[in-house]
């Protein structure tokens, strides 16, 4: 009996860039400035780019800085780089 193995790539649990499809006009400037080739152009014109390799992101945020439409892209800090703070007045913990 021949055994076969199926290999599937791991599903990333963290996506460093969040794109709002309602605001993004598909200009693809983020693709041009990304030094890690995280994005690929969407085959449909006017649609947001595809995030193909989120694990390759260097978390520098140049794609968000190059975006001409405010609110179309948002950079999310990885959990190990988030700064935890506590409000003195209430004692509430929050992340910056």
Domains contained in the chain, number:
1
Block residue for tokens 């599903």: 11
Give the structural domain span for 64. 17-95
Is 78 inside a domain boundary? yes
Q: What CATH number should be reported for the domain holding residue 57?
A: 3.30.70.20
Is 63 inside a domain boundary? yes
Is 9 inside a domain boundary? no
Is 47 inside a domain boundary? yes
Is 37 inside a domain boundary? yes
How many whole angstroms separate alpha carbon 19 and alpha carbon 51? 9
Q: What is the pLDDT of residue 5?
A: 63
pLDDT per residue rounded down to tens, the chain (96 residues)? 677 766 555 555 667 888 999 999 999 999 999 988 889 999 998 899 988 888 888 878 889 999 999 999 988 877 777 777 888 888 888 776
Q: What is the pLDDT of residue 27?
A: 93
Is 82 inside a domain boundary? yes
Is 89 inside a domain boundary? yes
Taking the model in full, what pTM does it have? 0.66
- HSE-CB at 83 with a 13 A cutoff on CA atoms is 2
Q: What is the pLDDT of residue 23?
A: 95
Of 20, 12, 17, 11, the residue nearest 59 (C-alpha): 17
- Asked if residue 87 lies in contact with residue 94, where contact means CB atoms within 8 angstroms, the answer is yes
SS3 call for 31: helix
Q: What is the pLDDT of residue 6?
A: 65
Q: What is the pLDDT of residue 96?
A: 66
H-helix or E-strand spanning residue 65: helix 62-66
């Amino acid at each position: 009996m021949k055994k076969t193995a199926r290999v599937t790539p791991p599903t990333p649990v963290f996506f460093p860039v969040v794109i709002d499809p309602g605001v993004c006009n598909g200009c693809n400037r983020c693709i041009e400035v990304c030094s890690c080739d995280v994005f690929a152009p969407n085959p449909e014109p006017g649609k947001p780019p595809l995030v193909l390799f989120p694990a390759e992101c260097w978390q520098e945020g140049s794609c968000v800085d190059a975006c001409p439409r405010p609110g179309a892209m948002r950079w999310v800090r990885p959990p190990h780089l988030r700064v935890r703070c506590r409000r003195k007045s209430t004692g509430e913990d929050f992340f910056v």
